[in-house]
Structure 1
Amino acid sequence: MLVLSRRVGERLVIGDDIVVTVIEVRSDGVRLGIDAPREVRVHRAEVLEAVRAANVEAVAADDRTVASLQRLAVPARTVSESAAADPSGTPPANR
């Protein structure tokens, strides 16, 4: 990790096209301005981590949830069941 000291108005250049400027220094934090191309995603780490945690929680399914979803699912008919239901063998779209 690179650690730098910067004063208000001073800049840090990352690569060819990302500029970080110190906007304000307060007792409780620092305000930074970030100038980057639109295709470069810039996120606050704590927000990104909260989104990731929420996504993991959203896809986690306990046994009760899985059982409830299985009761809602309609079983697919097999080819032999379809033929038994319509002895003519004509596909539904052609009847």
Structure 2
Amino acid sequence: MSSGPATTTAQLFYFVAPADGARPYQHTNADPLTGQRPRNYSSAEHETGFQYFYAPSNHKSFENDEEIEREYYPESIELIKKLTGASRVQLFDHSESP
């Protein structure tokens, strides 16, 4: 068993803004002929690499948003900087979808 980080790759689709600079939109209802929802933007497929690391957190409860942002965010930011060499990390959401 290797002592280094586990790695893998995946194909991810990234948002591509409308070429004309218009605000992106996607219709709620699908076209009955194509089954697709009309939209004015596209997506581009990119191969992206991931590394898995084990790093236990000092924050344990994950029950209070303010605590998470005050305690877990700074801890996570420092870990990401350490692992990636990034000089700046911006966390943007920790909530789960219903």
TM bin, normalised by shorter chain, reads: under 0.3
Question: TM-score of the superposition, structure 2-length normalised?
Answer: 0.18
Q: Which has the higher helix share?
A: 1
Question: TM-score of the superposition, structure 1-length normalised?
Answer: 0.18
